[in-house]
A and B are shown apart, each in its own frame.
Chain A
Amino acid sequence: MKTFAAITPVLALVAAAVVSAPAFAADLTVEFPTAAPQGQIMVALFGSETNYGGEGQPVRYAMVDAAGGQKSATFEGLPDGDYAVRAFHDLNGDGKMNTNPFGMPTEPYAFSNNAVGNMGPASWDRARFAAAGVAVQSIDLK
C-alpha cells in the first residue's frame, strides 16, 4: 500500500500530462514580415513580468537569419500562459544593439503586440499576450 500510495500521485501527474498535453502546450510563432533581408533578428521570449523587466532570463530565445531569408521563429511546447517578446534587428550582424552617439538605438527593435513604451521599453502590461495552442505574434521592427 505504501508503495502504491507513493506512486499514485506520480501516475496521476503523468496521466494528466499525457492526456492534457494539447491543452497545456502552446506553439508560438513570432513573425517579422517587414524586416529587411539582412543581418539577424534577436528574439527573447519572457514568461514573467520580473524576467521581462530585466531581472531574469528569457524562457526561450532565437536568432532569425534574416540575411538568409528567414522571417520568423517558432517556440514549440510552451506551457500555456502569458508571455512577452523583446526583439531587435542586428542589421550589421555585429551581435550588438547599436546606438547613436547620444545612446539612442539605431537598429530596429520592437516588442510583442507591437507595443511601444513611454520613454523606455514597452511595459509588460503593454507587451504581454496569452499563448495557448497555436499562437502568432506579427511584429514590425522599427
Chain B
Amino acid sequence: MTPSRRSFLMGAAALSAAVATPEMVRAAAALDAVAATKADWALATRDIEGDIARRTMRLIHGRAPAGLQGALYRNGPARFRRAGGSATHWFDGDGMMRAFRIQDGQATLEARFADTPKRRTETELGAVVTPGFGTKGDARARIGSNDDANAANTAVMVAGDQVWALWEAGSPLAMSVSDLSTTGFVTLRDDLKGMPFQAHPRYASDGSIWNVGLAGNRAVIWRLNADRSLNDAQIVALPRASYMHDFTATDRHVILVLQPWVFETHAMPVISGLAWRPEMGTQVLVLDKDDLSERRLYDLPGFFHFHLGDAWVERDGTIRFDVAASGDPRFAVDGARVLVDGHGVVPGDPAKLALITLRPNGRADMTYSDVVGEFPKADPRRAGLKRSLTSHTSGETRGRPLPTGLAVHDWDSGRSNAFEFGVHQVVEEAVFVPKPGATAERDAWLVGPSVNLKDGRTELHVFDVARIEDGPVATWQADMALPVGFHGVWAG
C-alpha cells in the first residue's frame, strides 16, 4: 500500500489510542485524586490571600555589605485559585509587587497586589474568568479592552515615585514606590492608549529606554526618555507573527528574535493560537535605533526561548547576545500548567545558555554552552556594550521544575561559577547591583530571593559576583513565604 495522508492519519490514530485510551486517562486521573499529594516545590506557586504589610526580615547568615542600600522591586503572580474557577497556567495569576528594602544593614519585605480590573472582576465573582496566556477563562469575563485582561504580573520598572507593573499585552500599571498602592494604567500619549508595553525594557547608556509591544506581525517600538516620558513610538512590520516575550538591544540596535512559535489562529488563551514550526527556523530582525526602517534579517536554526541577555556590537559590526534557549515550547504550554497544579512532571529539558553572533556578512550562528540557566541578567553599567558576564538561575533538572542555584557565566573564558542551594530552595532571578564607585564587571553584587521550602519562608540573598561559588554574603529570612516571582529591578 502506498503511504497516503489517510493511512498516516489512521496510523497516528491507532498509535494515540495505544498510548492513551480514555480508560487509561480516567485511571490516571483517579490515581491523581488518590495520591493528590503536592510536590515538594508546590509552595512556589502558593496563593496569597491579601496584601503583605511591611515586615522586618531576620538576618540568618553573614552580614549586609557596606554600601548596599536600596530596594529590589519584584513582580510575579501570587493568586491562581478561586472557589469558582482557577487560573491553570503559571503566567495568569494576579500580579503582586514585592519590595525588598535594604537600609543600614536591615532588610524589610512588603508585597501588594496590583489592583487591576481583572482582579476586581474575579474577586467579585469568586472565580478566575479572564482568558490569559494559558488560562481559558469563561463567558463571565469582562473584557472591554486588553487592559481589562492585564494581570500586571510579569516585571517592573521604576519611574520616579512610581513602579510600573509590566505585563505583555497591555499598558504599564503604575504603583506607588512608597506603599505599592495602585495608581492606574499608564498612557504614554493619548493616541497610544492601551498599546502593549512588554515586560523587558532595555536601558541604554545614553539614558534612553527601549521597549516593544506586539500585535500579530506588527510591533510598536517604544523609545522613552530617562525621565520615563515618551520620546517616540513607531510601528514596524515583522516578517512573521511570532510569540515574543523579550527583545534585546545594543547601544545602536533594537533586536527582535522571531522564534518559530507562530500565531496561526486568533484564539484565546494565547497558547491555543500558537503553532510550533521548528522547520521555519528562528529569524533575528535587527533595526537601527536612529532609523527603524534600516533593518537586517538573519536566519538561525529554530529554537525556543523566553529570555535574552543584553546585546553589544563589536568594532567590526559583529553583534552578540546570549539567550536561555530550549528545544521547544513544552514548558510554556504544559510545564507552566504543572506548576499551578502543584504536582506532576514538567516535560522537556531545562533551557541552556547560548551565544548568538550576527556577523557583518549577514551570517548568523549560535553556540550552545552546556550551562543550564534561565533569567539571564548582566551588568547595568554595560547595557548595550561589550561585556563578558551573565548571571542566571541554575540547577534545574529534567523532570523537576524551578531552579535551585545561582551562577555567573563568563563568555570570554567559558568558565562558569555557581552556588547550589539544594532542592530545598527555589531560587528566583537575581539582579546585578554595581558596587558604589566601582567599574569592573565583577565589582557587583547579585541580589535576589528564594523560597526556602524546608522552612516555608521567603529569603533574600546577596552574593558577590566575583565569588558567587562561596554562597551568599548575607541572607535574610521573612516570617512567611511568597510564591516565586518572575522579574525584578534594583533601585539604588
Asked whether any CB of chain B lies closer than 8 Å to the CB of A1, the reply is no
Q: How far is the CA of A118 from the CA of B143 in the complex (A)?
A: 5
Q: What sequence of 0s and 1s flags, for each residue 116-135 of chain A, a beta carbon within 8 Å of any chain B beta carbon?
A: 11110010000000000000
Q: How far is the CA of A108 from the CA of B89 in the complex (A)?
A: 31
Q: Contact check, B192 vs A118: say whether CB atoms are below 8 A apart.
A: no
Q: How far is the CA of A104 from the CA of B141 in the complex (A)?
A: 18
Asked whether any CB of chain B lies closer than 8 Å to the CB of A54, the reply is no
Q: Contact check, A101 vs B144: say whether CB atoms are below 8 A apart.
A: no
Q: Which residues of A contact B144 (CB under 8 A)?
A: 109, 116-117, 122, 142
Asked whether any CB of chain B lies closer than 8 Å to the CB of A57, the reply is no
Q: A101-B220, A116-B148, A119-B268 are known contacts. Are A106 and B142 too (CB-CB below 8 A)?
A: no
Q: Contact check, B218 vs A116: say whether CB atoms are below 8 A apart.
A: no
Asked whether any CB of chain B lies closer than 8 Å to the CB of A4, the reply is no
Query: Which residues 135-155 of B sit at the A interface, judged by CB distance below 8 A?
Result: 139, 141-146, 148
Identity of the chain A residue whose Cβ is nearest the Cβ of B218 in the assembled complex: A102
B118 to chain A, nearest CB (A): 11
Of A104, A106, A116, which one neighbours B146 at CB under 8 angstroms?
A104
Query: Which residues 76-129 of A sit at the B interface, judged by CB distance below 8 A?
Result: 91, 98, 100-102, 104-106, 109, 116-119, 122
* A-B pairs with lowest CB-CB distance, top 9: A116-B142, A106-B193, A102-B215, A116-B144, A104-B194, A118-B141, A119-B143, A101-B235, A100-B195
Instruction: Provide a sorted-by-A list of 11 A–B residue pairs whose CB atoms are within 8 angstroms.
Output: A101-B195, A101-B220, A104-B146, A105-B145, A105-B193, A106-B191, A109-B144, A116-B143, A118-B142, A118-B143, A119-B143
Contact residue range for chain B?
20 to 34
B223 to chain A, nearest CB (A): 15
Q: How far is the CA of A118 from the CA of B148 in the complex (A)?
A: 10
A118 to chain B, nearest CB (A): 5
A99 to chain B, nearest CB (A): 9
Identity of the chain B residue whose Cβ is nearest the Cβ of A117 in the assembled complex: B144
Q: A116-B148, A119-B268 are known contacts. Are A100 and B142 too (CB-CB below 8 A)?
A: no
Asked whether any CB of chain A lies closer than 8 Å to the CB of B190, the reply is yes
A39 to chain B, nearest CB (A): 12
Interface of A is mostly: loop
Q: What sequence of 0s and 1s flags, for each residue 313-346 of chain B, a beta carbon within 8 Å of any chain A beta carbon?
A: 0000000000000000000000000000000000
Q: Which residues of B contact A122 (CB under 8 A)?
A: 144
Identity of the chain A residue whose Cβ is nearest the Cβ of B194 in the assembled complex: A104
Q: How far is the CA of A105 from the CA of B218 in the complex (A)?
A: 18
Identity of the chain A residue whose Cβ is nearest the Cβ of B196 in the assembled complex: A102
Q: How far is the CA of A106 from the CA of B143 in the complex (A)?
A: 15
Which B positions have Cβ atoms within 8 angstroms of A?
131, 139, 141-146, 148, 190-196, 215, 218, 220, 235, 268
Q: Contact check, A117 vs B195: say whether CB atoms are below 8 A apart.
A: no
Q: How far is the CA of A98 from the CA of B148 in the complex (A)?
A: 19
Identity of the chain B residue whose Cβ is nearest the Cβ of A104 in the assembled complex: B194
Q: How far is the CA of A118 from the CA of B125 in the complex (A)?
A: 15
Q: Contact check, A100 vs B143: say whether CB atoms are below 8 A apart.
A: no
Q: Which residues of A contact B146 (CB under 8 A)?
A: 104
Identity of the chain A residue whose Cβ is nearest the Cβ of B149 in the assembled complex: A119
Query: Which residues 41-87 of A sit at the B interface, judged by CB distance below 8 A?
Result: none
Q: How far is the CA of A119 from the CA of B386 in the complex (A)?
A: 44
Q: A117-B143, A118-B143 are known contacts. Are A106 and B192 too (CB-CB below 8 A)?
A: yes
Q: How far is the CA of A81 from the CA of B142 in the complex (A)?
A: 26
- Additional A-B contact list (16), CB under 8 Å, known A100-B191, A102-B215, A119-B268: A91-B190, A98-B191, A100-B194, A101-B192, A101-B235, A104-B146, A104-B193, A105-B194, A106-B191, A106-B192, A106-B193, A106-B194, A116-B142, A116-B144, A116-B148, A118-B139
Identity of the chain A residue whose Cβ is nearest the Cβ of B268 in the assembled complex: A119
Q: A122-B144, A142-B144 are known contacts. Are A102 and B195 too (CB-CB below 8 A)?
A: yes
Q: Which residues of B contact A109 (CB under 8 A)?
A: 144
Q: Which residues of A contact B193 (CB under 8 A)?
A: 100, 104-106
A107 to chain B, nearest CB (A): 8
Q: Contact check, B194 vs A117: say whether CB atoms are below 8 A apart.
A: no
Q: Which residues of A contact B196 (CB under 8 A)?
A: 102
A54 to chain B, nearest CB (A): 16
Q: Which residues of B contact A91 (CB under 8 A)?
A: 190
Identity of the chain B residue whose Cβ is nearest the Cβ of A105 in the assembled complex: B145
Q: How far is the CA of A102 from the CA of B148 in the complex (A)?
A: 16
A56 to chain B, nearest CB (A): 22
Q: Which residues of B contact A116 (CB under 8 A)?
A: 142-144, 148
B389 to chain A, nearest CB (A): 37
Identity of the chain A residue whose Cβ is nearest the Cβ of B187 in the assembled complex: A106
Identity of the chain B residue whose Cβ is nearest the Cβ of A102 in the assembled complex: B215
Q: How far is the CA of A91 from the CA of B193 in the complex (A)?
A: 13
B147 to chain A, nearest CB (A): 9
Q: How far is the CA of A104 from the CA of B146 in the complex (A)?
A: 8
Q: How far is the CA of A106 from the CA of B146 in the complex (A)?
A: 12
Q: A100-B195, A116-B142, A118-B143 are known contacts. Are A106 and B190 too (CB-CB below 8 A)?
A: yes
Q: How far is the CA of A126 from the CA of B146 in the complex (A)?
A: 19
Q: Which residues of B contact A98 (CB under 8 A)?
A: 191
Q: Which residues of A contact B191 (CB under 8 A)?
A: 98, 100, 106
